[in-house]
Amino acid sequence: MSGHQPTLPHPNPDSDPQPTMPPSSPIHIGVLLLPPVQLLDVSPIDLFGMLTPSYLASTPLPGPLLAGAVPITVSYIAPQGAGSLASCTASANLRIDAGFDDASVAPGKLEILMIPGPEPKAETDERAKRFIRAHVEGGGVTLMTVCTGCLPAARAGVFKGKKVTGPRGLLGGLKKEFPDTEWIDKRWTRDGRMWSSGESVSAFLDQSVK
């Protein structure tokens, strides 16, 4: 299951006329939390949660739509490790499922790695950089960054030679700090398996359904 391109139902039948079958095994999504994290940047994970059989079964949707449910497993990952709490804005705390060294989230175990935005001025732990690099360079994940989540990815070096975006107000500084990356002034953009959004919910919603 690991290392393949995630397959999700396509929302636009005109651009993809062939029906998409849901995967037989769960898509494993890792959410990398480098606290303190912007709570709004974490919330888009619920867009994936709303595709699961357990969620759709609770809705009055017709059978053909229910049949398109996608099994998804979400693991929340943070430096503090399993059982800890990752601090977020609005005085929220999220319980963590795994740390960087846990076998369940080792390279090759995730299909998608999502990085919500930490504080813009926060330093990125060297272990976090290694974790991101290992998954992108050796694990074959689809990388999705939300708002300032582009910063840990850029610092890990995985954006070199790529077209990506980030918060509009930070783009000038990002271009100077990471000149080997092509920073695009767009709400979201994609370069291969790398998806980045410059905003939180609205931009991530757009990129998630593409």
Q: Please write down the HEC assignment for all residues of the chain.
A: CCCCCCCCCCCCCCCCCCCCCCCCCCEEEEEECCCCECHHHHCCHHHHHCCCHHHHCCCCCCHHHHCCCCCEEEEEECCCCCCCEEEECCCCEEECCECCCCHHHCCCCCCEEEECCECCCCCCCHHHHHHHHHHHHHCCCEEEEEHHHHHHHHHHCCCCCCEECCCHHHHHHHHHHCCCCEECCCCEEEECCEEEECCCHHHHHHHHCC
Does 139 or 24 have the greater pLDDT score? 139
Confidence (pLDDT) at 139: 84
* Percentage above 90 pLDDT, the chain: 80
Confidence (pLDDT) at 10: 47
- Beta-bridged to residue 112, according to DSSP, are 29, 142
Confidence of residue 13 (pLDDT cuts 50, 70, 90): very low
117 assigned to some structural domain = yes
Confidence (pLDDT) at 199: 78
We report the CATH number of the domain holding residue 84 as 3.40.50.880
Lowest mean pLDDT across 1-5, 99-103, 116-120, 134-138 = 1-5
Confidence check: pLDDT of 120 > 60: yes
Domain that holds residue 31: 27-208
Confidence check: pLDDT of 7 > 90: no
Residue with tokens 């898509």: 27
Confidence check: pLDDT of 90 > 50: yes
Q: What total of structural domains would you count in the chain?
A: 1
Confidence check: pLDDT of 6 > 50: yes
Confidence of residue 19 (pLDDT cuts 50, 70, 90): very low
192 assigned to some structural domain = yes
1 assigned to some structural domain = no
Distance CA 13, CA 64 (A): 14
5 assigned to some structural domain = no
pLDDT tens readout for residues 46-78: 999 999 999 999 999 999 999 999 999 999 999
CB 81 within 8 Å of CB 99: yes
19 assigned to some structural domain = no
Confidence check: pLDDT of 144 > 60: yes
